[in-house]
Structure 1
């Protein structure tokens, strides 16, 4: 991480504020930046030595060039003025002089183009960055972090020019994480033709193969990839390596890290402002060459529960696939048990239901495994096993190994014991036979050991279990016997998968892991617990650092959580691993620093017996309320608002059962916000009232925190009333909240944090612009002070952070926009949106985008940009529609209608709009949503648009866009 120091002059209060914002933004973007404003009082060594140390220790020194700065450098101001700049410039000049007039440290930066004239002479010859120009901040960050926009290729070997009659090949991008599948391939002619035609260029961008587990989806892809020599770039990934069930909580982070590495990108996952940015970035990388992308076993990343439509859980994967569906010269191939909802009705996306094997192909499969018998017996066996590819593969291997290859001896296999899915029970029937035949052997112990995992493992992990000498699993088996068992399961029984160039990797079909894992858990529960306990100890000790810094370094801790919880050590795992090393107490490190909402949610799932509505009982009950809250917040951040609602509702029930009114009040307030996001205004108001009921009767153990909760709840109630159109009562509640705050905080002038933002929203609706600017500046100062002094909990409100700063800047941007000060509005709105993206709160990002769309749409704005307005509104739709954020959708339709009207009335407009909806369509959609949600605040805006449409229709002009 580069260390940066900013040298600047204190020209004005506003100038100092901009420097502070620049420093804050650099720190948020993983650049360690220091300025004098971060010092509380004065440094221990005094200012001169501190400045000298900063210049010596910093990788770079940013010099903010202004007329005042240059005058102080040249000693043109009176003695005693600007001594800091004079001292720093003297040190800088000496540094350049000592370096033989070379400059590798000092970076000139200006806030406006005219300030280029004030760059000191020794720095004029070097690159400067004008931060008033779009894109220059990114270019500066590229320089500071040494991430060039264009990279010169590394020199390789001498240019080889072969004869013209010899065909040459380029070095391919090749990453294949699909397992090799044992046995010959039969059938699927239609599927192979579909793949060949798509790769030949028939316009298909994505193919989805839909089928239950074990029907041969992976084997089909393995065969096509192995026999297609025209693929120069391949990224093949299997999500089955992280589990096969739809209710499994899987993180896509390992896939993105791997794909970035293979495609030559050095960007870290934490460098993206949103999950959507990450998905779009990978799509752009894939489009740089004609590439085949295989995503095998996508169902763990889909919502398959009650009331869901198989939508994607992961926002980055969602953006990746929708982007590739829109533009992709290569081919993306998905295998899953259910079609992806977001890809429905896409022109260049094909969905193909992969059927079980044809009877003739099933017979060929059995014969290829050495099974003998007449045609009728073989056909009968294929039918009995449902033409299921995996079941027939297992049956053929069993008959060949144990039953003399005679198909008639299949009757020896007893009926399956237990409750299993009809489609998979045939495969499980053969696995049951194997567990009998292999009883007491190292081979069965190995299969049971693989059932401890939901992913492939390295042999060194198996070594950990073997060294533990677990009775009934790994005891009394020597190392040679283990190696023979591995060989026999691969070659003789053909039950283990093979990964190319990974002989150390042990893997099998997910259904095999599932079956033998269940057998171990249900029939040898003590062994199950002992094995998982040993794995927990192994994985928790694996990271080199007690507190890992990156997602990659943290992966062993995620495995530790899985195995510790499987061993029943939920409280120990919660305290030693999750709270202490992943979450890091109140720091929320994995989400705030790494943006790992999906990964942390996958971790939290281990504390549930049924995510997100039933928790593990026992000693973990003391954390039930916290776990439910944590899960809800992360679900909401990922745009999974309905699931967040379910978890928070349960948190309220837990608090009520404990008779903890403070916790109940907090949960009810959060429920109100979630209902508000979804557009359930009546429920939002009811939960707000419930929150006030509990908090007003709670125990005042921590006055400052309880104060915050009560003010927030009252402000939340006022906000729901405002959205429902009850402006007068909302105004009264906001004023009461502010008066209550002033009673408890004598220094307080106005509401701040979220209540202050919502109050300003109402005041803007009443056109009280000047009051809002005053309030916004006041709130921003408190938010910045709270962030700068986050170790001092009583500056501002406990827990204040980047979101508060973002909302305060959004308030100022909207106020200046209402005032018609478009340059200031642009300044504050852009900062607010950047902050909202960095914070990652999906339900708040549309607020910033909607406001900036108004800025771009406003015909009074000399820099209006209808194209950018469309882009911002499209992003609002992309966030709000899948998550069911109906208030944001209403605002989207209303603003789209206004934008289309502005385009029609502006003679300079060259935009033709986006989408097929007319103004009437958008207004009609908004009207439906207002009626369904009770979002009556927007009724005047709706009525105004309806009037304009009516006037236009009366003029005889017809439909307008």
Structure 2
């Protein structure tokens, strides 16, 4: 007999009930009236103590499990073991090439690219566990890391944390490293000093084409509106780290992906191969191992029709072997199942495999496809319509044998191949009902009271996903607003996660309104998503959302929010150099605020217009606008707005090369930033303080403030200010005559500015690079960067334009 984990508590309550009943039956309860309440009170106290002490114990057990999860080298760290199906066959040529790359090739990275179902993950896993581990090396490997981005908790941040723990043998606590970039540098250092093999499986999940919450249900197709940057990493830091891995000295990195990351295009240190179909001899051997009966020619003919596509062949062999009518005979089976001629081969075999199941099993596997991630037995059991556990077990084993379901025997978790999941999910009836059931299932999961990382929010995120998929969009938005918005946006700066979650509220596309009933909720969602795009460097992605936000405000005749929306749009336009459009929107904002007598928001408009005049090089006009705003903010004691105003005055002085005023206003801005402790304001002030001290020649103080700015910036992933801080670091290193480091900082700043289309920052960085190469005497490079700076500044950024022209004139006179 099985004893439930709840049995001790049930036995305890039963004993208390028996004692109370005995007191009543013996008459003691009537003789001593307080006896029953006393027994119940004592029992309650004991129960309360039990429950109180049980929670820390559970936490301690979870902590212990976490500690055990990451082994120490040289024991391989298989973070998400691949559920290898039986009878893996062949791929000897590909395995030999991988081994040759590992042993003798100087290139640090190998990228296997292929469509879904071609066997990328299976090949990598088999090579790693059968070939590499058994390989007798002259210099033994320090360790092996297998990380699959198909797993729901396998985020880039989680990868960094766990890999640092493993590679450092537990000596470095990654959780205490605040900056993600510092974590990247720490892991790079660990991997550079020792020989590791790093396998990153399913890297397409890091790319824009596959980054949404619906990626588990997605096939190989790429949406038309995503084709421009479909293969770019969603998170800039992730793309940077892939580039770092391509140049790591000792460690080798194998990547499997449906799409090669854009960041690796034309990069030295990278070997790229497209994984093709199975060898025909291997295909025949595989069918024979599977138990298919037939001649070599008969098997080869069928396999050729299906393009020797590994997943198709596994599903096909599974059908033939499980066909009671034909007894595994391929000739008899094909006689009654004509081979396809005009339909896509993979689609045809999936259709055959799905239709070979009875209706009950079809419904069952379609319901399982609604899970985004591997399922344990308890999760699967909520869809058990087969009666007993024995019958369910039989169905699961059959689906595994047919190749339609994976099973990891060690963890006893089940999963579907992405291609199979998509096909089955497309045929799921009552999607909303199934996701409603799953949202109820995940609603029961425990969430820690103290949220210490994004991983702690995983149950809430999963609940949110199924609530959205159930079509309950308004409920999902409330869930996001109440439980996810603050920790994700403000505490962790998890802008990519907020984008992924909020995009799910736009099932009709982001060119349409979110599917919410209340217009105020629509406006809030548009603004929240747009701000996340803007802060993470996707300025253009934010534009259409800000514009829709403006239209909703117009429809509601909400002039206050209309003015705010125009200001937000203008801010984004300034970032990408659309300065004239930004000016028009700011003047319209001021006009609306005057009309409704909203002095505060009018003053914000004047303040932003002052910043814009600074970019135009109209410094007197800038001072007038900033003074107008500061007068009201001082009168209304709006400390944060005053601080931003002083920051803009500092920026004006900085662009004018006025060191004293740059420092004076930056100090006032920093002091006011501490009143409300808005992190973005603190970072801006620290950057300006660093810039001021460089102008004054105090490099020690400059480094102190720039380090503070960069550390804080990267802690919350604030992309918009990172290039500015890095550029000042480049100037600092240049003044110290550390030329190589200066160039490194400038290149890093330019990478971000280029990726995010920050036109004004591009002009500033290219001007610096032109001056850098002027000092090195490389006139060709001076001209190259000077011309780019000039072109970038021709959007109206007059100070940068004048500097670029001056540099170009200087080299013409040489």
TM-score by length of 2: 0.80
Higher relative contact order, structure no. (Cα contacts within 8 Å, ≥ 6 residues apart):
2
Contact 1:812-1:825 within 8 A present in 2 as well? yes
- Specify whether residues 649 and 274 from structure 1 end up closer, same or farther in structure 2 by C-alpha distance, changes over 3 A only: farther
State the match for 2:410 in structure 1.
501
1:624 aligns with 2:624: no
State the match for 1:429 in structure 2.
348
- Specify whether residues 214 and 917 from structure 1 end up closer, same or farther in structure 2 by C-alpha distance, changes over 3 A only: farther
Contact 2:626-2:649 within 8 A present in 1 as well? yes
Pairing partner for 1:447 from 365, 372, 380: 365
State the match for 2:192 in structure 1.
287
- Specify whether residues 869 and 330 from structure 1 end up closer, same or farther in structure 2 by C-alpha distance, changes over 3 A only: closer
- Specify whether residues 355 and 755 from structure 1 end up closer, same or farther in structure 2 by C-alpha distance, changes over 3 A only: farther
Contact 2:514-2:526 within 8 A present in 1 as well? no
SS state of the match for residue 498, structure 1?
strand
State the match for 1:857 in structure 2.
734
SS state of the match for residue 537, structure 2?
coil
Q: CA deviation at 1:200?
A: 0.5
Distance (Å, rounded) in 2 between the aligned partners of 1:749 and 1:500: 60
Contact 2:594-2:602 within 8 A present in 1 as well? yes
Q: Residues 431-451 of structure 1, C-alpha deviation per residue, up to 9 Å, x if partnerless?
A: 33344332244x444412321
Pairing partner for 2:124 from 221, 224, 238: 221
State the match for 2:567 in structure 1.
669
Q: CA deviation at 1:940?
A: 2.0
Pairing partner for 1:891 from 755, 764, 768: 764
Contact 1:695-1:710 within 8 A present in 2 as well? yes
Pairing partner for 1:776 from 647, 666, 669: 666
Pairing partner for 1:405 from 284, 306, 328: 328
SS state of the match for residue 764, structure 2?
helix
1:879 aligns with 2:784: no
State the match for 1:338 in structure 2.
259
Q: Residues 608-635 of structure 1, C-alpha deviation per residue, up to 9 Å, x if partnerless?
A: 2156444542436542222222222223
- Specify whether residues 549 and 303 from structure 1 end up closer, same or farther in structure 2 by C-alpha distance, changes over 3 A only: closer
SS state of the match for residue 408, structure 2?
coil
State how 1:439-518 maps to structure 2 within 5 Å.
439-441=358-360, 443-463=361-381, 465-466=382-383, 474-475=384-385, 477-491=387-401, 493-499=402-408, 501-502=410-411, 504-518=412-426
- Specify whether residues 375 and 475 from structure 1 end up closer, same or farther in structure 2 by C-alpha distance, changes over 3 A only: closer
Contact 2:534-2:542 within 8 A present in 1 as well? yes
- Specify whether residues 206 and 820 from structure 1 end up closer, same or farther in structure 2 by C-alpha distance, changes over 3 A only: closer
Distance (Å, rounded) in 2 between the aligned partners of 1:361 and 1:621: 60
Distance (Å, rounded) in 1 between the aligned partners of 2:79 and 2:408: 9
Distance (Å, rounded) in 1 between the aligned partners of 2:243 and 2:783: 27
Distance (Å, rounded) in 2 between the aligned partners of 1:751 and 1:517: 51
Q: CA deviation at 1:361?
A: 4.2
Contact 2:113-2:260 within 8 A present in 1 as well? yes
- Specify whether residues 274 and 635 from structure 1 end up closer, same or farther in structure 2 by C-alpha distance, changes over 3 A only: farther
Contact 1:714-1:733 within 8 A present in 2 as well? yes
Q: CA deviation at 1:500?
A: 5.6
Number of equivalences: 716
Contact 2:467-2:473 within 8 A present in 1 as well? yes
Distance (Å, rounded) in 2 between the aligned partners of 1:434 and 1:689: 63
Q: Residues 879-932 of structure 1, C-alpha deviation per residue, up to 9 Å, x if partnerless?
A: 22222223222211111222334466xxxxxxxx9xx9722322232223234x
Q: Residues 678-723 of structure 1, C-alpha deviation per residue, up to 9 Å, x if partnerless?
A: 23334333443444344444585xxxxx71x333333223323332
Contact 2:74-2:144 within 8 A present in 1 as well? no
State the match for 1:469 in structure 2.
none
- Specify whether residues 875 and 380 from structure 1 end up closer, same or farther in structure 2 by C-alpha distance, changes over 3 A only: same
Distance (Å, rounded) in 2 between the aligned partners of 1:435 and 1:754: 61
SS state of the match for residue 427, structure 2?
helix
State the match for 2:786 in structure 1.
923
Higher helix share: 2
1:180 aligns with 2:109: no
State the match for 1:804 in structure 2.
681
Distance (Å, rounded) in 2 between the aligned partners of 1:776 and 1:542: 48
- Specify whether residues 764 and 373 from structure 1 end up closer, same or farther in structure 2 by C-alpha distance, changes over 3 A only: same
Moved more, 313-322 or 727-736: 727-736
Moved more, 724-733 or 231-240: 724-733
SS state of the match for residue 382, structure 1?
helix
Q: CA deviation at 1:214?
A: 0.9
Contact 1:817-1:825 within 8 A present in 2 as well? yes
- Specify whether residues 232 and 938 from structure 1 end up closer, same or farther in structure 2 by C-alpha distance, changes over 3 A only: closer
State the match for 1:581 in structure 2.
483
State how 1:130-209 maps to structure 2 within 5 Å.
171-175=74-78, 177-186=80-89, 188-209=91-112
- Specify whether residues 682 and 479 from structure 1 end up closer, same or farther in structure 2 by C-alpha distance, changes over 3 A only: same
Q: What's the Cα RMSD here?
A: 3.3
Q: CA deviation at 1:397?
A: 0.9
Q: Which sections of structure 2, spanning at least 5 residues, go unmatched?
A: 1-71, 136-140, 210-225
1:565 aligns with 2:565: no
Contact 2:315-2:353 within 8 A present in 1 as well? no
Contact 1:270-1:595 within 8 A present in 2 as well? no
Contact 2:366-2:425 within 8 A present in 1 as well? yes
Contact 1:239-1:298 within 8 A present in 2 as well? yes
Distance (Å, rounded) in 1 between the aligned partners of 2:375 and 2:712: 40
- Specify whether residues 452 and 748 from structure 1 end up closer, same or farther in structure 2 by C-alpha distance, changes over 3 A only: closer
Distance (Å, rounded) in 2 between the aligned partners of 1:621 and 1:750: 29
- Specify whether residues 329 and 764 from structure 1 end up closer, same or farther in structure 2 by C-alpha distance, changes over 3 A only: closer
State how 1:343-362 maps to structure 2 within 5 Å.
343-362=264-283
Distance (Å, rounded) in 2 between the aligned partners of 1:820 and 1:348: 40
Pairing partner for 1:382 from 300, 303, 325: 303
Q: CA deviation at 1:343?
A: 1.0
State the match for 1:239 in structure 2.
149
TM-score by length of 1: 0.69
Contact 2:649-2:665 within 8 A present in 1 as well? no
- Specify whether residues 815 and 616 from structure 1 end up closer, same or farther in structure 2 by C-alpha distance, changes over 3 A only: closer
SS state of the match for residue 151, structure 2?
helix
Contact 1:385-1:426 within 8 A present in 2 as well? yes
SS state of the match for residue 507, structure 2?
strand
Distance (Å, rounded) in 1 between the aligned partners of 2:587 and 2:94: 58
Distance (Å, rounded) in 1 between the aligned partners of 2:476 and 2:499: 15
Distance (Å, rounded) in 1 between the aligned partners of 2:335 and 2:199: 39
1:325 aligns with 2:228: no
State the match for 2:690 in structure 1.
813
Distance (Å, rounded) in 2 between the aligned partners of 1:690 and 1:188: 65
